Amino acid sequence: MEEHTEARKKSGDTKQHFVDALLTLKGNGGHRTIDHVIEAFETLQDMITAGMDTTAISSEWAMAEIIKHPRVQQKLHEEMDRVIGFERVMIESDFSSLHYLQCVVKESLRLHPPTPLMLPHRSNANVKISGYDVPKGSNVHVNVWAVARDPAVWKDPLEFRPERFMEEDVDMKGHDFRLLPFGAGRRVCPGAQLGINLVTSMLGHLLHHFQWSPPEGVKPEEIDMSENPGLVTYMRTPVMATATPRLPSHLYKRVAAEM
């Protein structure tokens, strides 16, 4: 924040960064106060704590599923070669044409929601839900992990089959209670779309650039998918893989982002 404040003082203008947007916020009287700086700082802190592990874990689970299912990886490569080709890297506007990639992200978030019990909620009134009494003041955990694995809700729930979302487009941002990796309602994840884009971007680049296989001597079906349960569910055994480049070498050069 200090760097951005200094840069703004020097140049007088702002770049379109999230921090700059926060720094331009003013109070009712049109002035920025120390409260605004604290609020901006806390917003950034929230974004980092809530947005980093969740997206990293979701990407790791998805990569594990992709490596475990060579058929899925092959379909992803076919789609990417058709939509992006071999002359350039993926850009955000490609996402809307990468339907299968979107389904892979969704299927992975169905089976591996990084926060399986969402965040704890507290009921602020006595309510009755599906015949159950929930007294005022109860802590309520919604087990979205269990819903996603319930055979009464999903056909072959334990199977990793992204095609299910080609057959039926299911919302995952809080409108369809069968699939709630981001929660629902008033406290739904405010970073849902950013989270989806980040995971799609990470998987898209990793898959477009490389062919992935398990480490030598390990068969795809032997990849350990057991969980390390907690508020956030990590893979018990971090995924290990071998990457083989599949694009021309000039596309692997790192281009520094302009700050």
The residues binding ligand HEM (CB under 6 A) are 46-47, 50-51, 54-55, 58, 114-115, 118-119, 181-183, 187-191, 194-195, 199
Helix residue spans in the chain (DSSP H): 2-11, 18-23, 34-68, 70-83, 99-111, 144-148, 164-167, 192-209
Of residues 213, 182, 251, the one with CA closest to residue 74: 213
The CA distance from 53 to 66, in Å, is 20
Closer residue to ligand HEM in complex, CB, 55/73: 55
Closer residue to ligand HEM in complex, CB, 234/251: 234
Whole-number Cα distances in Å, 79 to 65, 98, 134: 18, 7, 48
Closer residue to ligand HEM in complex, CB, 45/242: 45
Min separation Cβ 222 and ligand HEM, Å: 27
Closer residue to ligand HEM in complex, CB, 190/238: 190
Closer residue to ligand HEM in complex, CB, 51/157: 51
Min separation Cβ 112 and ligand HEM, Å: 9
Min separation Cβ 31 and ligand HEM, Å: 26
The vertex-50 CA angle with 175 and 142, nearest 5°, equals 45
Whole-number Cα distances in Å, 208 to 125, 138, 201, 244: 50, 47, 10, 11
The CA distance from 231 to 217, in Å, is 33
Min separation Cβ 59 and ligand HEM, Å: 8
Min separation Cβ 66 and ligand HEM, Å: 16
Consult the annotation and say whether 103 binds a ligand: no
Per-residue HEC secondary structure of 147-161 comes to HHCCCCCCCCCCCCC
Binding site, by residue number, is: 189
Binding site for heme, by residue number, is: 189
